[in-house]
Chains A and B, each alone.
Chain A
Amino acid sequence: MSGTELFVAVIKIAIVLGFLLNMAAITTWADRRQSAMIQDRVGPNRAVIYLPAWLVRAVVLGGGVLVAAAIAVPFWAKHPGLESARITTGIEIAILVVWTTLLLISARVRKDSDGVAPYRDGADSAFEERVAQLAPRTYFYAGLIAQLAALFFAQLAPAGFIVRGSSFGPGVAGSLAALAILLAAGYSAGRVGEDPVPLRLAGMLHALADAVKLIWKEDLRPRGADRLLFALAPMLAMFPALVTMAVVPFGSTLCFIDFDRDKVLSFADLAHLAPVVGPSGACSAGQLAVSLSIANLDVGLLYVFAIAGTGVIGAAIAGWASNNKWALLGGLRATSQMVSYEVALGLSIVGMFMVAGTVNLQKLVDWQGQNAWGIFVQPLAFVLFLVALVAETKRVPFDQPEGESEIIAGYFLEYSGMKFGMFYTGEYIEFVFSSVLLVTLFFGGYHLPFLDPDGLRITLGSDLIYELKLTHLAVSAIHIATFFGKTILMVWLQLFIRWTLPRFRYDQLMRLGWTRLLPLALLNIVLTGAAVLALESAGEPLGNAVAIAADISQSLVALAALGGSVLFVTGLLEPSRTKRITASSAAQMALAEGGIRAGKMQA
């Protein structure tokens, strides 16, 4: 292993660790915040840092300049043959920034005609008043139409209009996007509130404050506890959760040009990312491939199960070493539950291996990208896997290892300070990693429908409907963002399960695991085997039909994602219907006082 490869590996480890630890803290926050929002409360929001207004302005403006530069500079590079697509991309970004900014201004400023938005800011200037003439929804629809129109007109542009081999057209388009971002950042900097500006990060600072508090709290050890095991258990609970992510690819393989022609990755090569790659995504001869997983193991998923399975040891040892019968009961519950569901978890995914023919996660993800997402190939396995996964991470409705009413807090009952914090962090990392697994196995990993390594290509069967070439850098960036975005979306969905469902009784949990999930997982294996055999023996026509079905599934995902986003934004911008009820004496009193107003947040 060369020094450069070591450096790249360290960078990848830093990315994964940073993502997992930050997500653990953010998920702790989101868990509480989401429950609060369901009940119409702000949730944890009291941790605050007061910043001077000039600093906030500088950060907003500086961030805008950085983003603008990061977008504009690559557009001035020469990529022969991609001019048209790159001009389109630049203009699309510019249009997106413009309509989003106008929408946000209108949403903050506009007062509805019936006065249902009493808390809105009000216009600061004549410009804002003019912007607020139109409702936020109008900006959204206009923006959508503009984006589609830009896509369409770029296709109509005559071929001679675009100078091949010149970076002038794409550069101007990129600069246009950068200008839009700069204007938006400058405008936002001008709207920064009065000095000092409270920085709350939507309550996310609360998680930070909690961690600081945990570190400084007294670390108690109960009398009679096993000194060594008691200290070891939190580490054993946290470590497996952290290392399982090592085999998961979080982006497509990067191709670097062998700049110094020594066939080994060196620092000189790292600066030369290949401008474009072929439609298969494989690096061409002479290029150096860097896979975006820490270790691209062939045993892939087996490694994940092996390491994740040891996580239970931490819980078991914690329960044993605490010298507390409730903690011991919690540890036993955790152990038996995790051992039981490990079986169903492992068996439910076997069908996916049979179809894709590999346990290597990189290959599994690529197979899904080329064919169809796992959830369409193995719907039953997805449900079984999801249920087993929730049980495996010990979360509601399978949180029997913790039961306030039965065994107090479960296996970490006697832990305090940061040792408790480590259990909690480990649990949330496991939770985030469970979402990573779901995304990797069933939601196509970093793949987006119709996004090939060389650009956007919409096909149905063998018919090409639309094509937009993209650079390797752009596609890689989209892939990495897609992976982390999908993971966050999955975490968000899983949190809803927690806030909705009541918990099972312990015997119900065991019965579900052994008498329902396990037979269904076995049945899934049998059915999948039969289907695979049938497909192999049926030959060409059925194979083509399956390929078209796979493309249809991709189109369904794309349509659902697009339609869902449009519905989401329109729903968000639609004023909610209210009725004012002043029948009760309490309401009449409140009305006389001018309504209930939020006071200043205080600790």
Chain B
Amino acid sequence: MATDNMTWTKAASKTPVPTHTIARPSRTLGVQSYVPELLKGTALTMRHFFTNAKERLLGQKRDPVLDNFEGGITTIEYPEERRIYPERFRGLHRLTVRADDSPRCVACLCCSTACPAQCIHIEPAEYADGDERRGYERFPAAFVIDELRCVFCGFCVEACPCDAIRMDTGLHPVPYDSRDQFIYDKTQLLALTAPDGTRRTDNARHEPGDPTHPGLSRDHDAH
């Protein structure tokens, strides 16, 4: 294996590298006739079959995560059985809402900027004339996430200054028939909830007039 012409590799050391030769597996008549191995293999599959058949017949099916029976196999029968996802599992995105059920998102584009997969598309829009939020913050006229492109890194959640986007739904995108079914628009994202079924967050958004946060104002002169 000495390669003198390969200059990009490290030069071989002067002292010989200790090696040992692995014996070639002997192909005895038993191996070549295929019969003992055949019987062994069949016995193995049969053992699995009988162990599992027994568990089912006696109504003793084990918990696929907690119980391991000796020499057996534990398979989670998805989708009837589902692995329990950890609390911080990053699943499908959802948009959180304010007290009046409007999205918390202020269309600052932090998330779409942070997204390495560029799967978030936001069309910011101004509030109508006379709305108290006009000129102070914007809202997303369109908020679209392509879940097929998403790499589930969670950067969008970290980038969001308003706690408006979260990945705590506990859902993973199910396989669909066509690509357009993976594209979630604003209504779909708003409809998704946390695993406990709520859409609001404990992390309250403080509006002007909140006594715990004096000084909040939407008056332009205050900025």
Residues of A within 8 A of B (CB): 34, 37-42, 107-108, 116-121, 383, 496-497, 499-501, 571-573, 575-582, 585-587, 589-591, 593, 595-602
Closest 10 CB pairs of A and B: A590-B65, A500-B41, A595-B63, A40-B75, A578-B69, A119-B59, A40-B52, A40-B73, A38-B48, A500-B45
The stretch that binds A, out of B22-30, B80-88, B141-149, is: B80-88
CB contacts (< 8 Å) of B187 on chain A: these are none
In Å, the complex CA distance between A117 and B59 comes to: 7
**Residue contact A496 to B68, C-beta cutoff 8 Å:** no
Residue of B nearest to A600 (CB): B80
Given contacts A117-B60, A595-B63, contact A576 B54 (CB under 8 A): yes
Q: B29-45: contact bitstring with A at CB < 8 Å (1 yes, 0 no)?
A: 00000010010011011
Contact status B45-A496, CB under 8 Å = yes
Complex alpha-carbon distance, A117 and B67, angstroms: 12
CB distance from A99 to the nearest CB of B (A): 17
Given contacts A108-B59, A499-B45, A500-B44, contact A596 B76 (CB under 8 A): yes
A579, B70: Cβ atoms closer than 8 Å: yes
In the complex, the answer to whether B65 meets A586 with C-beta atoms within 8 Å is: yes
The 14 sampled A-B contact pairs (Cβ below 8 Å) are A40-B48, A41-B75, A501-B41, A572-B53, A576-B69, A576-B72, A577-B70, A578-B62, A580-B68, A585-B86, A596-B83, A598-B77, A599-B80, A602-B80
A-chain residues with CB within 8 Å of residue B72 when the two chains form the complex: 40, 576
> Are A581 and B68 in contact (CB-based, < 8 A)?
yes
Q: Tell me whether B52 and A37 are in contact (CB under 8 A).
A: yes
Contacts of A601 in B (CB 8 A): 80
Cβ of B118 within 8 Å of any chain A Cβ, yes or no, is: no
> Beyond A500-B38, A586-B86, A599-B80: 16 further Cβ-contacts under 8 Å?
A37-B49, A37-B53, A38-B73, A39-B75, A40-B74, A40-B75, A116-B60, A117-B58, A117-B59, A501-B41, A571-B54, A576-B72, A578-B69, A580-B68, A585-B86, A596-B63
How many of chain B's residues touch chain A, expressed as a range? 35 or more
Contact B65 A596, beta carbon cutoff 8 Å? yes
Residues of A within 8 A of B63 (CB): 590, 595-596
Take A590-B63, A595-B65 as given contacts and tell me if A578 and B58 are in contact as well, using a CB distance cutoff of 8 Å: no
Q: Which of B57, B61, B66, B82 has the most CB atoms of chain A within a 10 A radius of its CB?
A: B66
Chain B residues, CB < 8 A from A41: 75, 77
Which residues of A have CB within 8 Å of B64?
Answer: 40, 596
Q: Is B51 an interface residue (CB 8 A)?
A: yes
Residues A587 and B80 in contact, CB atoms below 8 Å apart? no
Q: How far is the CA of A600 from the CA of B81 in the complex (A)?
A: 9
Shortest Cβ gap from A465 to chain B (Å): 33
Q: Are A582 and B66 in contact (CB under 8 A)?
A: yes
- What is the CB-to-nearest-CB distance from A530 to chain B, in angstroms, rounded to a whole number? 23
Residue B176 lies at the interface, judged by CB distance under 8 Å to chain A: no
Tell me which residues across on chain A come within 8 A of B46, comparing CB atoms: 496
- Contact of B55 with A by CB under 8 A: yes
Let me know if B8 is at the binding interface, CB within 8 A: no
Nearest B residue (CB) for A202: B56
Q: Which residue of B lies closest to A576 (CB)?
A: B69
User: How many angstroms from the CA of A582 to the CA of B66 in the assembled complex?
Assistant: 6
Q: How far, in angstroms, from A435 to B167 measured CA to CA in the complex? A: 56
Q: Is the CB of A579 within 8 A of B80?
A: no
List chain B residues, Cβ under 8 A from A596: 63-66, 76, 81-84
> Chain A residue with minimal CB distance to B54?
A572
* Cβ–Cβ < 8 Å partners of A593 in chain B: 84
Q: Give Cα A41–Cα B81 distance, bound, in whole angstroms.
A: 11
Please measure, in the bound complex, the distance between the C-alpha atom of A575 and the C-alpha atom of B61, giving whole angstroms: 11
Residues of A within 8 A of B82 (CB): 596, 599
Are A586 and B75 neighbours in the complex by a CB distance under 8 Å? Answer: no
Instruction: Check B57–A579 contact: CB distance below 8 A.
Output: no
Cα distance A591–B63 in the bound complex, in angstroms = 10
A602 CB contacts on chain B under 8 angstroms: 79-80
> Could you tell me the distance between the alpha carbons of A42 and B57 in the complex, rounded to whole angstroms?
11
Task: Report yes or no: B50 in contact with A571, Cβ–Cβ below 8 A.
Answer: yes
Q: How far is the CB of A39 from chain B (nearest CB, A)?
A: 5
A586 CA to B82 CA, complexed, in Å: 12
Q: B79 to chain A: which residues have CB within 8 Å?
A: 599, 602
- Asked whether, in the complex, the Cβ of B68 is within 8 Å of the Cβ of A39, the reply is no
**Known contacts A39-B73, A599-B80; is-contact A579 B54 (Cβ 8 Å):** no
User: In the complex where A120-B59, A121-B59, A598-B77 touch, is A497 in contact with B70 (Cβ < 8 A)?
Assistant: no
Instruction: Say whether B83 contacts A586, CB under 8 Å.
Output: yes
Given A40-B48, A40-B75, A576 and B55 contact (CB-CB distance below 8 Å):
yes
Measured between beta carbons, the chain B residues less than 8 angstroms from A383 are 35
Chain B residue nearest to A593 (CB atoms) is: B84
Knowing A599-B81, A601-B80 are in contact, say whether A589-B86 is a contact too (CB < 8 A). yes
Q: With A and B bound together, what is the CA distance between A121 and B56 in angstroms?
A: 13
What is the chain B residue whose CB lies nearest that of A516? B33
Q: Which residues of B contact A577 (CB under 8 A)?
A: 69-70
Interface contact B66-A38, CB-CB below 8 Å: no
A503 smallest CB distance to B (angstroms): 13
A97 to B56, CA, bound (A): 23
- Closest residue of chain A to B50, judged by CB? A571
- List of B residues within 8 angstroms of A42 by Cβ: 56, 77, 80
CA A132 – CA B64 in complex, angstroms? 27
Complex Cα distance A472/B42, Å?
39
Q: How far is the CB of B86 from chain A (nearest CB, A)?
A: 6
